[in-house]
Amino acid sequence: MIKIGIVGGTGYTGVELLRILATHPQAQLTAITSRKEDGVPVAQMYPSLRGRVDIAFSSPDKANLNACDVVFFATPHGVAMAQAPELLANGVKVIDLAADFRMQDVAQFEKWYGMEHTCTQHLPEAVYGLPELNREQIKSARLIGNPGCYPTTMQLGFAPLLKAGLIDAGNLIADCKSGVSGAGRKAEIGILFSESSDSFKAYGVSGHRHTPETIEQLQRLTTDKVGLLFTPHLVPMIRGMHSTLYAQLKDSALAMSNEELQAVFENAYKDEAFVDVMPFGSHPETRSTRASNMLRLALHRPGNGKTLVILVVQDNLVKGASGQAVQCMNLMFGLDEATGLNHVPINP
């Protein structure tokens, strides 16, 4: 059994980790930290876990995280980098769901997150936790920077085309929408029900922190310089993410048929348990991935022209966060990648 600690178990990604790990056949929940909820049974805060999770929250100073095999950080940015060195020194593997270990470019991290990176000594060994692109590195890693939710959709949507050299890497566009849970479990005016319900808005249009993260990873797939215009939107639903991606075919690829372009995606993801390449021209819906670790995508080519449109959907809390983190854990401990993650999406 894998002894597991969760730092920050009261937020949405934390409880999603608990939901997944509660039925994981190789997971032993050992410690779940929360200063405010110290001593409170987890099932008291989250009745959905009654009969599944029988431990209580403990303050960080009481939790023996060094006795764990792996510790997940479902915390605000900056927490993992402060605690990771001690855990790593004690042989504990670390999976951070925040941004502390997502980017290798320290200057970019500090610019976009407004804080000093205090754990740069461990950045070179941090592996970006997107299994479909970094599986072999994840297997041998002891420190994972779990991807952002939007970047997961953008990378898996653009990757097959960039790897094949079929599109103009400098002219990528991503028009993305997320449910309100993507903002976290907190009291802010902009995400109150009466503020976000029956409304729709863009945010971060002049620049968003997920842009440099995505560019850094996409740049690994091509020798061409990557340029990305990314616009996120908030939609009035609890969970779910829909990304509409636009790319321009290179002149050398214009003669390719739609069937050939579809085959690029099908071949890229034919062995992936959690990427579903739908038939050409399909319209994936967010509800088709709700509460699952599945990402679905579909390719379009309006007018059989130069522009490709890739539609990508996922659950922002599962494949976009906690499910992907467990996917990484499975790889790190030599388990089948899908262990504990074969949840069928809920519908309606």
CA distances from 55 to 32, 118, 210 (A): 8, 32, 35
Euclidean distance between CA atoms 296 and 242, whole angstroms? 10
Q: Which of 68, 149, 176, 328 is catalytic?
A: 149
Q: Where are the beta strands (DSSP E) in the chain?
A: 2-7, 27-33, 70-73, 93-96, 127-128, 143-145, 172-178, 201-202, 228-234, 241-248, 275-277, 295-300, 307-314
Token pair for 270: 């034919």
Question: What are the residues whose beta carbons fall under 8 Å from the beta carbon of 7, sequence distance 6 or more?
Answer: 33, 60, 63, 65, 71, 72, 73, 74, 75, 79, 80, 83
Token pair for 167: 């599109």
CA distances from 84 to 2, 16, 111, 275 (A): 18, 22, 22, 31
3-class DSSP state of 293: coil
119 is a catalytic site residue: no
Residues classed as catalytic:
149
